[in-house]
Amino acid sequence: MDFELPEDTRMVRDTVSRFVRNELIPHEALIIRREAERGFTDTPLIPPELDAKLQHTAREIGLWGIDVPEEYGGQEFGMLAKCVVIEELKHSIVPFVLPPESPNLYLLRELCVGSQIDRYLLPYARGEKKSCIALTEPGAGSDAGAIKTRAERRNGKWVINGTKIFISNARRADFMIVLAVTDPSRGAHGGMSAFLVDKGTPGLTVPTGYPMIGEYHPYEVVFDNVEVGDEQVLGEIGTAFKPLQKRLGVRRLDIASRCLGLASRCIEMMIEQANTRTTFGAPLADRQTIQNWIADSFQEMEMVRWLVYRLAWRIDRGDTDFRRDGAIVKIQSTEMIGRVADRAIQLFGGMGVSKELPLEYIARMARVLRIVEGPSEVHRWVVARDLLKSGLPSS
């Protein structure tokens, strides 16, 4: 069993680390100010001109299409490399994302056929189009099988009606992956289908956003007799639930990698402060409590890192049944960063909760992560249910 990262992954990691240090961290004060001033608006935290500049720089240094297949113009480094890249990027609070910017790539790769490849998959993989997934509803959050949005067959078209909430990127997406019920009698397994819906399609509106804690700003999406043709059915009718679970698992790995990067930043700041700050005639580094905070934070981060890397390795080997392990990394990573950020704030005292430092920003951002993509309680239920049904897995 080899625990060493492959050489090409280490090289990508080092490139991203330099990019973060030179291109992202210098803009953190700007991001903190824009987030504080945003209020109830959905002003992007990165100014568009800065985002364009960062995207250009990233492309020039080879940070493009990390997990995109070579046949679509990408580098296809795999999931482990992608996790390492995300971890390094989130060493900064600047919300910069390398395109394609969400796990929708894995859903599109698996399901796109015919004209869908040129119309949606390829421009998405090249970073020319943005997407979002419309799943959550007022009565269906963690329970994806409870969605009520309907897609009915009328006059040779599929007509979609319903309301989605908490949909990230809805106003800036060029197209949506919409989950809808096509056969209520069959439930989630057999009655749920996915559709590709373009921005500007008649009947599709994004009437409001939800100002929330941290940088998260999702939207409400309404479908009022939205018509799409058969060419916009993603996959087969009635078969959306299983590939959706895989996409959600990849997203949870993405979130866990973000938590690792944020935790690393917090611990780095804790170590520096402990070694330079003196109180009552002695450095903080000499205080047993401070030592415990740093030791516990590092151990918790390392344990999560190996859970994340192991799951990414499994996916790269072709494993498609990782719902339980996806739930585990989601629980452990999001709860870990909450504890680490809290210790870092406590170590810094008043400055820790000020906007002079990124720690209070990290703490608020981290709190959201215990809820989005399934709360910890639901993921614990998933893990327990699997173990009670199948027993303890072999090592």
Alpha helix stretches (DSSP H) within 148-209: 188-191
Say if CB 186 and CB 193 are below 8 A apart.
no
Asked whether the beta carbons of 5 and 13 are under 8 A apart, the reply is yes
The CA distances from residue 395 to 13, 52, 168, 200, 379, in Å, are 29, 46, 37, 50, 21
Place of tokens 């989630």: 188
The residues with which 226 forms a beta bridge, in sequence order, are 160
279 sits in which H/E element: strand 278-279
**Side-chain-side CA neighbours of residue 130 (13 Å):** 10
Annotation marks residue 373 as catalytic: yes
- The two structure tokens encoding residue 345: 């704030």
Contact by Cβ (8 Å): 241, 192: yes
Which of the following is catalytic: 23, 87, 137, 373? Answer: 373
Distance from C-alpha of 240 to C-alpha of 107, rounded to nearest angstrom: 10
Residues designated as active site? 373
